[in-house]
Amino acid sequence: MFKIIFIFSLAIFSLNCFSQNVLSPELLFKVKRLSGGKVSPDGKLVLLEIRTFSIEENKGNTDLFVYDLKRGKSTQITNTAFSEMEAQWGIGNSIWFMSTENQGVQLWKMNTEGKNKTQVSAITEMDLEGFKFSPDETKLVFIAAVKMKSTLKDKHPDLPLANARLEDDLMYRHWNYWQDDTKKHLFLYEFKDNKLAVSGKDLLENEFYDGVLPPFGSSDQIAFSTDSKKIIYSCKKKKGKAFALSTNSQLYEYAIETAKTTVLTSAYLGYDSSPKYSADGNFLFWQSMAKDGFEADKNDLIVRDLRTNTDVNLTQKHDITVDDFCISPNSKFVYMIIPFKGMKQLFELEISTQALRQITTEEFDFLSIDLAGDELITTRQSMLDPTDLVSVNIKKGKTENLTNLNDDIMSKLDLPSVQERWIETTDGKKMLVWMVLPPNFDSNKKYPSVLYCQGGPQSMVSQFFSYRWNLALMASQGYIVIAPNRRGLPGFGQEWNDAISKDWGGQAMNDYLAAVDNISNEPYIDVNRIGCVGASYGGYSAYYLAGIHKGRFKTFISHCGLFNLESWYGTTEELFFANWDNKGPYWLPENKEYYAKNSPHNFVQNWNTPILVIHGGMDFRVPESEGIQAYQAAQLKGLRSKYLYFPKEGHWITTPQNGILWYREFFEWLDTDLKK
């Protein structure tokens, strides 16, 4: 009896040891999340933000760190219960940041040791959301929410407990929030003798617009001129229906001395964003899309010579799109992050010749970019590596990890492996498919597998380490993950990227099936245990494939997927996206055939496979009614189905406990159908 108990205990111990040696949802929320990477004015230090999460308290907190490039060491300079945000360098290596430590969100200043910490602002009449200092530190711009219109409570003050909204135009909600009575305006404040002026100038006074592109725009959409006399900001000055139908943002120049605002980019019809001045003040750079209404258009880099007022499209002749960039001090080179063949790589562009040179080639995504002498300082990640700070030799492309932030967790794990595969599609093209194999993979065994369908739809399946859809975590549960870069993704030329628009249910679906059929020829793939999962357009893909897969898949999971394109068109908010990618209103006679062919709900009669539907109640890009319709259809057809609903989450699951719950239900569903 003792022997039996001993053997059973040993088996349980072995299982526990195994479970502790692979990535789990709980461990994922213990991983430190690094961002920032801005180099100090003297080129010796790097400013970092590190976010950690408490599962028990169900929240995160961000602290600031400084990395010394010479000493090769990072130092934590804040350690509070309040997140420090928007950290920026000032003159003399001073550090400016925002914090909720006192009187709401306010501006603070300290030195590189975290000492001499001083609260600079005490503004209570507005909610501060970001800031930008002028190069000479005599002025700053606050991003602040200000009330711009009356509400029903203002109209009916005798009904304080009434709870209602009254709308008379579109864009009354956006992504995961309802439009309220405020707009994010830009306020210019004087800053002299280390004191902030009592009041500031509203650069958009009486204008019912956001001064930065909503909903994710921040201080990176604001730039002071090198002489501190002008402010450039990116703004889409459109209202209601016009805002919903257009991506045409502009760069605006505000001259501080004359208080005059000038439009700089009226000749450019799509998104214009991320303005940056050269160090000598002679050039203005920005990212620009050519087509109005196409949010995933080629993102070109434009430079304006301010001495002659002439523009040059630096990337026009290159079949690339630009994610981010920085400018060399001598204004001769631009360094860029470019999606390229399933990775985000660093490139150098010579301004005079427009010659393009790839700097990095390793299988990583580079996420930020700044200069320190002949080195690029950047952050990077891969499917197996959380974000770390890295230096890159510009000439040789040699990389060196400056931090190993999560070694205490990752070094103890048996990690998956990643393979790069190129397969032939049904129309004779070559497609990159990432294969993520389970830890201790044995090619002599047979494994269950999961087809991962990417969202976007124009969002590359790159070397991302996601906290929402972590492919390494999926593989760590014993699944082979098949992740195709199907039609419609950047990094493979603009033709490949554009091919998804107005063909959602066409070649992209064939690409998915081609990937599954090709990989299924491998002896280690159990063809009787293949699942299909995805979110957003990936969730649409799961719904669509459920109607056409002809027995390839044994189960489906759709998170925030589009089920009925007609009802989705009638409830989504950014209609420019729906118009560009899905031809426009379903009621137009010329669109009837398109909606019939491309809407998943028209193929429900073929559904015969279990499906888990997940949706967030605050998702206004793909409203919850899409998930409810799909779940109800599955139930009425008698399929094993469940509806996992998060009433306070939007398009993404963001809080720790909801995230862990999501993963637990996700894997329980897969295990039930694929690990029998």
Burial of 441 (C-beta count, 10 Å sphere; 0-12/13-18/19+): middle
Whether 220 is catalytic:
no
Tokens for 249, please give them.
Answer: 């943002």
Task: Give the pLDDT score at 17.
Answer: 36
Give the closest residue to 25 by CA, choosing from 520, 656, 676: 656
The predicted-structure confidence for 341-385, as pLDDT tens digits, reads as follows 999 999 999 999 999 999 999 999 999 999 999 999 999 999 999
The architecture that CATH gives domain 414-674 is: 3-Layer(aba) Sandwich (3.40)
3 state SS of 392: strand
Listed by start position, the domains of the chain span 414-674
Residues 6+ apart with CB under 8 A from 217: 184, 210, 234
**Regions of the chain where pLDDT drops below 70:** 1-20
Task: Give the pLDDT score at 20.
Answer: 54
Measured distance CA(364)–CA(381) in Å, rounded = 6
* Catalytic residue of the set 536, 541, 558, 599: 536
Q: What is the DSSP letter of 438?
A: P
Neighbour tally for 625: CB within 10 Å: 15
Tokens for 496, please give them.
Answer: 């490949």
For tokens 């930008």, name the residue.
132
Q: Where are the alpha helices (DSSP H) in 462-591?
A: 471-476, 494-498, 507-519, 537-546, 565-569, 575-582
* Catalytic residue of the set 185, 549, 559, 651: 651
For tokens 């950014």, name the residue.
574
Whether 651 is catalytic:
yes
Task: Give the pLDDT score at 9.
Answer: 37
Whether 536 is catalytic:
yes
DSSP per position, 298-333: --EEEEEETTTTEEEETTTTSS---SEEEE-TTSSE
Give the closest residue to 233 by CA, choosing from 244, 245, 223: 223
* Catalytic residue of the set 559, 619, 641, 673: 619
